[in-house]
Amino acid sequence: MKAWVLHNIGDIRFDGVEEPTLREQEVLVKVKAAGICGSDIPRIYQTGAYSHPLIPGHEFSGEVVKVGALADTALQGQRVGIFPLIPCRTCPPCRKMQYEMCRSYSYLGSRQDGGFAEYTAVPQENLIPIPDSVTFEDAAMLEPMAVAVHAMRRIGVSADDHIAICGVGTIGLLLYMFLREAGVQNIYVFGNKDFQKQTLQKLGLPKECYCDIRKNSTQQWIQERTDGIGADVFFECVGKNETLKQAVNQTAFAGKIMLVGNPSGDMGLEKSVYWKILRNQLTVKGTWNSSFTGEESDDWHYVLKRLREKRIAPSELITHRFPLEELERGFHIMRDKTEDYVKIIGR
């Protein structure tokens, strides 16, 4: 089969490789759509993976074409989305079915071969069946959608909350979409690109609810829109010291901050900022990944229900589509920022 193989940092090639050999509880998925995550780019070009060679890609969907010796034969031919985190199922979080916090996990696309390939071996417990009404492209975006939903559900929001989103990458945009779907009206978004503003306005954000941080004092801007109080809930989707400080300074007394953005470096707090957390009695939470238990109550089923009922349309965020053999064009666009993009899909 053909796959994008990362041989070392910066050395990714479209190679011919052996089709995966299935373990007893695994299935072989013919990949139908695979999205490039922002985390794939530093993995390919800056840090490398945990071991090489490795096939990256953890946002993907497809069809089961073969099952392992002890896997469920009923899965043959099933259209599926894939939860990429493979939990150990024995550590304390796993025993509570909090698999996203597993202490000894593997991961498709970073610790073992992932979805930038014609075929991928996947544990059957990591599959979520998808109906014909859900496209493979939408199903490939189940992972980032579930990450956004996990952040929203963990912090808790009310329809009348004033909510701020700082950071308008894929997760920030999906957060906006799911907050709107949940009935939240007062959403304020901080960004620094004209393309972000245009994308949000296409999704329904009023122009007066977007703050271009290149042109405005963010603190004054949010104060003017919240009667001088600040945001009830602040989603920090960047992962930098300055945006963490911004979150603390612009959240209302007794408000809530959800840290979503992966840190770009060491994080620290000035004494005055730390005092504000104490004196304003702020709730600060962090989130990583999403809940996938196989039950209707998990984040993936929450998302799938809304896809099935056409209440969310992630395909609105797809800006580029490439055949698998041309996917490196997408890597370069994201690495070099040569074009505006949100989600780039290989198929």
The domain boundary, picked from 286, 304, 323, lies at 286
Run of H or E residues at 92: helix 92-95
* 261 belongs to a structural domain: yes
The domain boundary, picked from 243, 270, 286, lies at 286
Beta strands, E only, 140-180: 162-166
* 275 belongs to a structural domain: yes
Q: How many residues does the chain have?
A: 347
Contact yes or no for 192/171 (Cβ under 8 A): no
Q: How confident is the model at residue 217 (pLDDT cuts 50, 70, 90)?
A: confident
Say yes or no: 122 and 190 in one domain: no
Say yes or no: 151 and 121 in one domain: no
Average pLDDT over every residue of 170-188: 97
Tell me the pLDDT tens digit for each residue of 66-115: 999 999 999 999 999 999 999 999 999 999 999 999 999 999 999 999 99
Residue 261: how many CB atoms within 10 A of its CB? 18
Sign (positive or negative) of CA dihedral 199, 201, 203, 206 = positive
**55: β partners:** none
Say yes or no: 114 and 215 in one domain: no
* 329 belongs to a structural domain: yes
Say yes or no: 63 and 175 in one domain: no
Q: How many domains does the chain have?
A: 2
Tell me the pLDDT tens digit for each residue of 294-313: 999 999 999 999 999 999 99
pLDDT for residue 216 is more than 90:
no
* 338 belongs to a structural domain: yes
Task: Report the CATH number at residue 52.
Answer: 3.90.180.10
Please give the full DSSP string across 289-305, using - where no structure is assigned: S----SSTTSHHHHHHH
Phi then psi for residue 84, to 5 deg, are: -80, -20
Say yes or no: 218 and 198 in one domain: yes
* 334 belongs to a structural domain: yes
Taking the whole predicted model, whether its pTM rises above 0.85 is answered as yes
What is the domain extent for residue 201? 147-286
pLDDT of residue 171: 97
* 298 belongs to a structural domain: no
pLDDT of residue 27: 98
Say yes or no: 171 and 127 in one domain: no
* 11 belongs to a structural domain: yes
Beta strands, E only, the chain: 2-8, 11-16, 26-35, 59-67, 79-82, 85-86, 106-107, 119-123, 127-129, 162-166, 186-191, 210-212, 231-236, 251-259, 283-286, 318-322, 343-346
Say yes or no: 325 and 277 in one domain: no
Average the pLDDT over each of 29-43, 190-204, 213-227, 271-285 and give the range with the smallest value: 213-227
* 63 belongs to a structural domain: yes
Contact yes or no for 4/55 (Cβ under 8 A): yes
Tell me the pLDDT tens digit for each residue of 113-163: 999 999 999 999 999 999 999 999 999 999 999 999 999 999 999 999 999
Say yes or no: 77 and 158 in one domain: no
d(CA 111, CA 109) in angstroms, rounded, equals 6
Residues contacting 97, CB < 8 A, separation 6+: 293
pLDDT of residue 13: 98
Q: How confident is the model at residue 264 (pLDDT cuts 50, 70, 90)?
A: confident
Question: Which two three-digit tokens encode residue 154?
Answer: 């963990």
